[in-house]
């Protein structure tokens, strides 16, 4: 694991060239299509970089286990290869964990940070070992049903079966080794000592009904970051950006809007 090079990441850029860059980072088992409800509003004023983390979508799938450092260095390498020096970063769940690592590793380059439905440490380790083993032995499809139940409220699952179907399809198609390797990265992750190195103004977003990373988990990060605000989104579980896109977009745009002051 140590000393390996950066993985090749599938990615795409949208929005006007020369505009402030916003990086969107996905949850475990999803692809950058999870941001479809955010892209139209963000791309009006921002250059939006979406990518699939190692082991996901069309990105490279190295053998696991992975570390959060691996996932973070992959993103930094991608940004460097695209000639992007300064950027804002919005990550959800695993994407938020990557965001904490990046923002603490290169704080001088991160303009604004949004950490959504995430945690600086997320146990128990045995759960992540079990998920990794199941993914390798039976495929991610064996986990999809239980994951969906934690990611969306019953109300969303009833009123929006298309979002559920699309999310399930992303999970089902995630490479087993990629999913397992990222499970092991989360298992071994503890970013609490890094929070004090984050300098960017930070938005924290929690889903009120999120069983995976409940509001109390985001409140812990909020307490460690003096320059942070916390938004709790009602009637939303783990994928708050999909379940309540209007409330999520409003919070994110309010946080990012200062970057547009003085721009064309």
Query: What rounded mean pLDDT belongs to the chain?
Result: 96
pLDDT of 261 reads: 79
Q: Is the pLDDT of residue 164 over 70?
A: yes
Mean pLDDT of 170-198: 98
Q: What is the pLDDT of residues 107-131, one digit of tens each?
A: 999 999 999 999 999 999 999 999 9
Phi/psi class of residue 125: alpha, beta or left (left: φ > 0; alpha: ψ in -120 to 50)?
alpha
Handedness of CA 105, 233, 124, 129 (dihedral sign): negative
- Going along the chain from its start, the domains and CATH numbers come out as 11-260 (3.40.50.1820)
Residue pair 83/197 in contact (Cβ under 8 Å)? The answer is no
Per DSSP, 15 falls in state: S
**Is the model's pLDDT at 13 over the cut of 60?**
yes
Three-state SS for 56-108 is CCCCCCCCCCCCHHHHHHHHHHHHHHCCCCCEEEEEECHHHHHHHHHHHHCHH
Residues 52-77 have a mean pLDDT of 98
Say if residue 264's pLDDT is above 90: no
The Cα–Cα gap between 94 and 115 comes to 10
């Amino acid at each position: 694991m140590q000393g390996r090079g950066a993985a090749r990441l599938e990615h795409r850029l949208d929005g006007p060239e020369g505009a402030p860059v916003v990086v969107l980072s996905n949850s475990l088992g999803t692809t950058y299509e999870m941001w479809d409800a955010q892209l139209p509003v963000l791309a009006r004023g921002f250059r939006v970089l979406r990518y699939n983390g190692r082991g996901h979508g069309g990105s490279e799938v190295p053998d696991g286990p992975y570390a959060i450092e691996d996932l973070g260095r992959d993103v930094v390498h991608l940004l460097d290869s695209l000639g992007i020096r300064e950027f804002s970063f919005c990550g959800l769940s695993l994407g938020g964990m990557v965001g904490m690592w990046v923002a603490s590793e290169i704080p001088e380059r991160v303009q604004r940070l949004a950490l959504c439905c995430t945690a600086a440490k997320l146990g128990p380790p045995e759960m992540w070992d079990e998920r990794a083993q199941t993914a390798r032995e039976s495929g991610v499809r064996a986990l999809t049903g239980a994951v969906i139940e934690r990611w969306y409220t019953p109300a969303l699952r009833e009123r929006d079966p298309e979002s559920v179907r699309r999310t399930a399809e992303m999970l089902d198609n995630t490479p087993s080794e990629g999913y397992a390797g990222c499970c092991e990265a989360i298992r071994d992750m503890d970013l609490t000592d890094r929070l004090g190195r984050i300098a960017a103004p930070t938005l924290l977003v929690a889903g009120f009904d999120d069983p995976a990373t409940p509001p109390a988990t985001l409140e812990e990060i909020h307490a460690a970051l003096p320059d942070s605000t916390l938004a709790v989104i009602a009637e939303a579980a783990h994928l708050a950006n999909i379940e309540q896109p209007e409330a999520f977009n409003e919070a994110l745009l309010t946080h990012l809007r200062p970057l547009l002051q003085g721009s064309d």
